[in-house]
A and B are shown apart, each in its own frame.
Chain A
Amino acid sequence: MFNPKQMSRLLIVASKEHLDPVIAELYRHHVFHIEDFVEGANEDIKGVKIGNPSKGADVLSTDLVRVRSIASTFEVKPENGKGLQKMQNSDIRGRIQEELPKIAKEVEELLSRRAHLDSSMKEYEQRIELLQPFVNSPVPIDMLYGYDSVSIIAGTYPGTVTLDVPHEEYKETLKGTTTTILAIRNSDLPDVEKKLLDASFHRIPIPEEEGSPQELIYRYEQEIASLQKSMDEVSDDLADIKEKQKEFLLASEELLSADLEKAEAPLLFATTEHAFAIEGWVPAENNVALQEDIQKVTGGNVLLSELDIDDPNNGPPVEYNNPDFAHPTELFMDVYSRPKYTEVDPSMIMAVVYPIMFGLILGDVGYGLILLVLCFGLRSFLTGKAGNQLLKVLRNCSISSIFFGIVFSEFFGFSLPWHPLWLSRHLNIGAGPEAHAVAEVSHIPELIIISIWIGLLHITLGRLLGARNAAKMDHGHHRQLAIYANIGWIMVMWGIVFLIWSIFPIPFMIDLSGFPAMVAGLNAASIAGALILIVGIIFIARENVLDLMEIPTIISNVLSYTRLIAVGLSSVAIAMVTNYISIGMIIEPNFELSILGIIFLVVGIIVFLIGHTINTALGILGGGLHPLRLHYVEFFTKFYRGGGKIYHPFGKARKLTEIE
């Protein structure tokens, strides 16, 4: 529960004739984490090389690339495979041999046809665009080019230019732009060009076509329409193929990638001319079954040996071993870092504490219900593993919010028909006498003290786990020092707490200020506190004197937990202010059956909705991030090391094909 799955280190040695059945068996079990063989890592071992991929791996990978490229053309993704029937592997293999080249060829032809049609359409469109400025030209387009002594220039310019050379000019305004066509003698061309340039003349190319521009454009549009028709046909053909072959494509992708993974597995093994050796990890619970099956497929001609674990901290891969309700929180662990094999896996603690903290912050029945609905609504959109985990965490959090909302008697900032069950965090917002009445009973300082209690206990737990990790993971003299240092940190924290208790009476805390003073105004409790503090400091200093600089962080870490109430109160305040502005200031004073009254009602409702939407978003963000930060920054830094190797068993879960 608090430890990852127990792993056994297994060495499999057999002669090469058994290579394929052993790989198939390992793949089928889907529990064996292969440790890569590194050539030359151990100088004592000579003559051992990395294995070669099995025969046919190149064909498999060519086929796989083909299948994947078709699948990506059709945008067929493994997620689309939901609800499809499993297919027979022999069927798929047969179809890969016979049909795949045909399908690939057909798709390729259709795609190249589509590309060709597309480029032709683009060309016509471009021609139309070029002809557009000359659509009303008084002469056919072929009369605008091809002269020996006369140049024709077309273009647009913002102002007017007076030319002092003989010329002929034609102007045409179309959609706000005036196109000018100028005919001049070649000898005048340089002068005129210079003048036009000064007038910011923008030259348009004259298309070298024949006939009336209007007719040409009409003809090209006809061409485009007929091309579009062919394009639609091609698209229909492609859609047909997609519909027919979708299942086959997904299944063959799955089968081929499985086959390829198996074929390439020897790249991870150590091999000699006649034998191979595989080293890896298998969860202790699957060990016996795996070994038995490997014995079976090799007819007993295999050496299976369980090796000692050299470096338990870093060696074995880490797979979580948590009860179901803690699985979603593993997401947060992986975002931070996978635990090491020997250390405490805090997923379960987090699975309990995180929703409680979230609920304390967002304790409101209304917001909790919105979040719950959101979680169920987003299920079909967030289908990945991480998305699923996140939604489950949020679901737990929303239930916790609803629970705390009932305790705090809050519903979108309004009070529920009962008084808060224990402590109230209703604020004095809105000027009515009712608001004053609730403000008198609000218990904000008390709630802050509760949050400090949570901090003290959470950090103490963190340090205890730190001591446990040191005991399990460190060695020699340092191990003892590290354990004592963790205890020292607990003692310093509680020493400070005792000192404060003995000086100030604080509600919801133990009052030790009543004892008679003994020495220099200090009573028995303060002396005890000071002693605990000093012993703690000595324990810390024995491990590392520089750590003493960190002592002030004890106070800031504990006070950091007050955010549980402070952030929560800010969301209560926003909710209450929204209610006050929308209902108290806009709707209520103007509530009458007139046009103005209805307008105020609508405006009030809009303000209400916007305010609560923003507050829901802020509440989810704040309620989600702050507890996460308390875990990562305040809690994990006390004990968590992380950096464990992630367990990747060889094999893949099959959805559309059979396991062989």
Chain B
Amino acid sequence: MASGAETMAVEVAAQNLEAMAASAAGLKAIGAGLAVGLTGIGSGLGEMSIGAAAVGAVAEDKEMFGLALLFTVLPETIVIFGLVVALLLLFS
């Protein structure tokens, strides 16, 4: 028969475990957020100068539009990698 003290110890341990699981989930979410956010900044920096040049090119020649749009999205790979990392963190 378990004494009152033992029952309490078990309860405290269970609460600790719950808190740990919750903080692990929270850290995962923070990691996922950082992955998308930081890579998003990276992509933005990359697209900044390409975008400016692309607008210039399109102003010169409207037929460049398709190609310019394509060049502009080239650095988006970085943020997609971040997104994939975040998805794997959250769902696997």
Contacting pair B70 A560 (CB below 8 A): no
List 8 other contacts, CB 8 Å, given A562-B80, A626-B73: A442-B91, A444-B88, A444-B91, A448-B84, A556-B77, A565-B84, A566-B87, A629-B74
Complex formed: what's the CA distance from A569 to B69 in Å?
A: 22
Contacting pair B73 A569 (CB below 8 A): no
* In the complex, chain A residues whose CB is within 8 Å of the CB of B76: 563, 626
Instruction: Tell me the minimal C-beta distance from A143 to chain B in angstroms.
Output: 56
Complex formed: what's the CA distance from A448 to B85 in Å?
A: 11
Decide if B67 is an interface residue (CB 8 Å cutoff): yes
Closest Cβ neighbor of A624 among chain B residues: B69
Contacting pair A563 B80 (CB below 8 A): yes
Decide if A559 is an interface residue (CB 8 Å cutoff): yes
Contacting pair B66 A335 (CB below 8 A): yes
Contacting pair B67 A633 (CB below 8 A): no
Closest Cβ neighbor of B91 among chain A residues: A444
User: Lowest 8 A-B CB distances belong to which pairs?
Assistant: A444-B91, A445-B92, A566-B83, A563-B80, A562-B84, A566-B80, A566-B84, A625-B73
* In the complex, chain B residues whose CB is within 8 Å of the CB of A632: 70
Decide if A567 is an interface residue (CB 8 Å cutoff): yes
Contacting pair B92 A563 (CB below 8 A): no
Contacting pair B88 A445 (CB below 8 A): yes
* In the complex, chain A residues whose CB is within 8 Å of the CB of B81: 559, 562
Closest Cβ neighbor of A562 among chain B residues: B84
Pick 28 A–B contacts, CB within 8 A, sort by A: A335-B66, A442-B91, A444-B87, A444-B88, A444-B91, A445-B87, A445-B91, A445-B92, A448-B84, A448-B88, A556-B77, A559-B81, A559-B84, A560-B77, A562-B80, A562-B81, A562-B84, A563-B76, A563-B80, A565-B84, A565-B87, A566-B80, A566-B87, A569-B83, A625-B73, A629-B70, A629-B73, A632-B70
B contact set with A: CB distance below 8 Å? 66-67, 69-70, 73-74, 76-77, 80-81, 83-84, 87-88, 91-92
Give a binary string over A368-396; 1 marks a CB under 8 Å from any B CB, 0 the rest: 00000000000000000000000000000
**Which residue of the partner chain, among B69, B80, B87, B91, contacts A625 with CB atoms under 8 Å?**
B69
Q: Which of A555-594 contact B (CB under 8 A)?
A: 556, 559-560, 562-563, 565-567, 569-570
**Which residue of the partner chain, among B69, B83, B92, contacts A570 with CB atoms under 8 Å?**
B83
* In the complex, chain B residues whose CB is within 8 Å of the CB of A554: none
Interface size of A in residues (CB-CB distance below 8 Å): 21
Give a binary string over A249-291; 1 marks a CB under 8 Å from any B CB, 0 the rest: 0000000000000000000000000000000000000000000
A569 touching B87 in the complex, CB below 8 Å, given contacts A445-B92, A626-B73, A629-B74: yes
Chain B's interface: helix, strand, loop or mixed, by majority? helix
* In the complex, chain B residues whose CB is within 8 Å of the CB of A189: none
Closest Cβ neighbor of A332 among chain B residues: B66
Give a binary string over A620-660; 1 marks a CB under 8 Å from any B CB, 0 the rest: 00000110110011000000000000000000000000000
Complex formed: what's the CA distance from A19 to B26 in Å?
A: 84
Complex formed: what's the CA distance from A583 to B67 in Å?
A: 39
* In the complex, chain A residues whose CB is within 8 Å of the CB of B88: 444-445, 448
Complex formed: what's the CA distance from A335 to B66 in Å?
A: 8
Complex formed: what's the CA distance from A124 to B77 in Å?
A: 63
Q: Which of A490-529 contact B (CB under 8 A)?
A: none
Instruction: Tell me the minimal C-beta distance from B31 to chain A in angstroms.
Output: 16
Closest Cβ neighbor of A448 among chain B residues: B84
* In the complex, chain B residues whose CB is within 8 Å of the CB of A569: 83, 87
- The interface centre, meaning the residue of B67, B73, B77, B83 with most chain A CB atoms within 10 A of its CB, is B77
Instruction: Tell me the minimal C-beta distance from A223 to chain B in angstroms.
Output: 44
Instruction: Tell me the minimal C-beta distance from B42 to chain A in angstroms.
Output: 14
Complex formed: what's the CA distance from A442 to B81 in Å?
A: 20
Closest Cβ neighbor of A625 among chain B residues: B73
Instruction: Tell me the minimal C-beta distance from B55 to chain A in angstroms.
Output: 16
* In the complex, chain A residues whose CB is within 8 Å of the CB of B73: 625-626, 629
Contacting pair B92 A628 (CB below 8 A): no
Instruction: Tell me the minimal C-beta distance from B85 to chain A in angstroms.
Output: 10
Give a binary string over A236-260; 1 marks a CB under 8 Å from any B CB, 0 the rest: 0000000000000000000000000
Q: Which of A448-475 contact B (CB under 8 A)?
A: 448
Closest Cβ neighbor of B87 among chain A residues: A444
Instruction: Tell me the minimal C-beta distance from A460 to chain B in angstroms.
Output: 20
* In the complex, chain A residues whose CB is within 8 Å of the CB of B69: 625
Instruction: Tell me the minimal C-beta distance from B91 to chain A in angstroms.
Output: 4
Instruction: Tell me the minimal C-beta distance from B39 to chain A in angstroms.
Output: 11
Closest Cβ neighbor of B77 among chain A residues: A560
* In the complex, chain B residues whose CB is within 8 Å of the CB of A628: 70
Complex formed: what's the CA distance from A567 to B87 in Å?
A: 11
